[in-house]
């Protein structure tokens, strides 16, 4: 069965520090992988996605993620965090092809940024 | 970029009443839309896949008679929470899939509070 694990429920970093949010998945085949960000009471904004090709994916707001097949991981990184990055981050996996859109989400990581 | 509009953003209703939530794709046709539910401080759980012109496909454990989904046009899917109870209070989010190339867009969500 498919599942997504985000082991860190809450992470606190200082502004300007680097960030890495972990994501591991269990899936029958190579899935599509996504990172979304959610501000309180808001919908989801796509940060980046991996479908195929280069395993290092660049996203918006200076985020990047690396797909490591051998580790079933898709960790999100940012070299220098800004206070506006404080939010909830969700990793998600989905099937390829006609069932794209049926996403399975991790439980999320709440990011707090200290000034 | 493509936009998905979800309405209302917030609704409060009395127990026993029904509530309809709309999800519209504003600048593309979406043959498939998806409905998710998010409990406070928890992840998003896929409820159902909405297919234009046919019956929705519900995930295991989701009551189809409780959560009625209608996808009558290529730009509109509706979720009706029937005979709502306080335990139905949640954040509901829709997404729409754009075909060729494959893209997913999320609505901004609806916070339902049942008194």
The residues on A that touch B, with CB distances below 8 Å, are 36, 41-46, 51, 90, 100-108
Pick from B32, B33, B109: CB nearest A43 = B109
How far apart, in whole angstroms, are the C-alpha atoms of residue A45 and residue A50? 15
pLDDT above 70 for B2: no
Residue A43 pLDDT class (50, 70, 90 cuts): confident
Q: Which is it for the CA torsion B70, B19, A106, A36, positive or negative?
A: positive
A105:B45 CB<8 A: yes
B66 at interface of A, judged by CB pairs closer than 8 A: no
Structure tokens at B33: 């839309």
How far apart, in whole angstroms, are the C-alpha atoms of residue A16 and residue A10? 18
Map tokens 């209070």 to a residue. B89
A42:B95 CB<8 A: no
Question: Residue B104: which of A41, A96, A53 has the closest Cα?
Answer: A96
Structure tokens at A105: 């989400």
Cis before B101 (ω within 30): yes
pLDDT above 80 for A52: yes
Which of residues B98 and A72 earns the better pLDDT score? A72
What mean pLDDT comes out for the span B104-114?
92
DSSP string, chain B: ---EEEE-SEEEE-TT--EEEEEEESSS--SEEEEEEE-TTS-EEEEEEEETTS--EEPTT--TTTEEEEEEETTEEEEEE-S--GGG-EEEEEEEEETTTTEEEE---EEEEE-
Give chain B positions within 8 Å (CB) of A104: 46
B93 at interface of A, judged by CB pairs closer than 8 A: yes
B88 at interface of A, judged by CB pairs closer than 8 A: no
Q: What is the pLDDT of residue B53?
A: 85
Pick from B32, B45, B111: CB nearest A101 = B32
Q: Across chain B, what does the average pLDDT equal?
A: 91
Cα B12-B6-B38 angle, rounded to 5 deg = 65
Residue B26 pLDDT class (50, 70, 90 cuts): very high
Q: What is the pLDDT of residue B101?
A: 62
In chain A, pLDDT over 70 holds for what percent of residues?
Answer: 97
Task: Tell me which chain A residue has its CA closest to the CA of residue B112.
Answer: A41
């Amino acid at each position: 069965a498919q599942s997504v694990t985000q082991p860190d429920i809450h992470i606190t970093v200082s502004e300007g520090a680097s960030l890495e949010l972990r994501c591991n998945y269990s899936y029958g085949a190579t899935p599509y992988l996504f990172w979304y960000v959610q501000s309180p009471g808001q919908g989801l904004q796509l940060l980046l996605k991996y479908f195929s090709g280069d395993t290092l994916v660049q996203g918006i707001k200076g985020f990047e993620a690396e797909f490591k097949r051998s580790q079933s991981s898709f960790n999100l990184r940012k070299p220098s965090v800004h206070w506006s990055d404080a939010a909830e981050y969700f990793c998600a996996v989905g099937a390829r092809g006609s069932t794209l859109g049926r996403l399975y989400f991790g439980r999320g990581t709440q990011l707090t940024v200290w000034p | 970029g493509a936009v998905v509009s979800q309405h209302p953003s917030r609704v409060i209703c009395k127990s026993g009443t029904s509530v309809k939530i709309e999800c519209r794709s504003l600048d593309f046709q979406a043959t498939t839309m998806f409905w998710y539910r998010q409990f406070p401080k928890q992840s998003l759980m896929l409820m159902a896949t909405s297919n234009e012109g046919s019956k929705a496909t519900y995930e295991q454990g989701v009551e189809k008679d409780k959560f009625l989904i209608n996808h009558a046009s290529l730009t509109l899917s509706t979720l009706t929470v029937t005979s709502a109870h306080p335990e139905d209070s949640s954040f509901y989010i829709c997404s729409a899939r754009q075909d060729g190339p494959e893209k997913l867009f999320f609505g901004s969500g609806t916070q339902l509070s049942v008194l």
